[in-house]
Amino acid sequence: MEDLTSHPQDVRGVDFAANDLSDDALLRRFADGDAGAARVLTDRLGPRSFSVALRMLGNRAEAEDVTQDAMMRLWQMAPDWVPGTAKVSTWLYRVTLNLCVDIRRKKRPDRLSDVPEPEDGKASVVDRLQDEARKDALQLALSELPERQRQAVVLRHIEELPNPEIAGVMGISVEAVESLTARGKRSLAAILADRRDELGYDNG
């Protein structure tokens, strides 16, 4: 997994010393009144929450609302956080997934037009269209998975979390995570096999 903490240039206007601190330490500093700690935590954890929310919801505006809400809960619980008991990111993933479940219960189906667009401007138009088709296809296939399989697959294969951490996020055993990801991946492969022509696998 890409180590987001190793890119201080990603952090907007924050001192470099704060970037070296753990999430635990930053949360403590925020609880003690340090505004800079909130900026580092936003840059470090916000994209993870947003990425998962977008994959779970398939809608950018809703994913942004979920991320804002999840981060709000992070700020609120900061004084009560006990360092060392769990990872802050695990807690945030769990809150994010719960918020996504709440939204998905209220609204169906997904709006695929809001799938993230590729940022690579150098690709040819054909490549870009094919790339978008693939991403839409992945998002579409993900949206057809049962909720828990979808959560496990997103956390394992897109966020690249280790199984024990996924187990912590989802509140289940590691064996259950393995089972969910295996079944989820099989289902995805079956869904995608049905759409092989649309994806242009064999052309690229």
Partner 1 sequence: MTMADEDLKLDHLFADARRDRLTLADDLVVRIQTDAEAIRLERLAPTARPKRGAWTRLFETIGGWQGFGGLVAASAAGVWIGFAAPTFLPDPANLLTAQDTSYLVADLGFDTSFLENTE
Closer CB to partner 1, 38 or 152, in the complex: 38
User: Looking at beta carbons, which pairs linking 9-17 to residues 24 or more positions away fall under 8 Å?
Assistant: 10/43, 11/39, 11/40, 11/43, 11/44, 12/39, 12/43, 13/39, 14/39, 14/40, 14/43
Shortest Cβ 79–partner 1 spacing (Å): 7
46 contact partners, CB below 8 Å, separation of at least 6:
67, 71
Determine if 200 is a binding residue for partner 1 (CB under 8 A).
no
d(CA 81, CA 84): 9
Closer CB to partner 1, 9 or 171, in the complex: 9
Determine if 116 is a binding residue for partner 1 (CB under 8 A).
yes
Query: Segment 28-67, which members bind partner 1 (CB under 8 A)?
Result: 30-31, 33, 35, 38-39, 42-43, 46-47, 50-51, 54-55, 64, 67
Site string for partner 1, 72-111 (x = CB under 8 A): x--xx--x--------------------------------
Closer CB to partner 1, 164 or 204, in the complex: 204
Closer CB to partner 1, 86 or 201, in the complex: 201
Q: Which tokens in the block code for residue 123?
A: 């690709």
* DSSP-based helix, strand, coil % in the chain, nearest 5: 75, 0, 25
Determine if 27 is a binding residue for partner 1 (CB under 8 A).
no
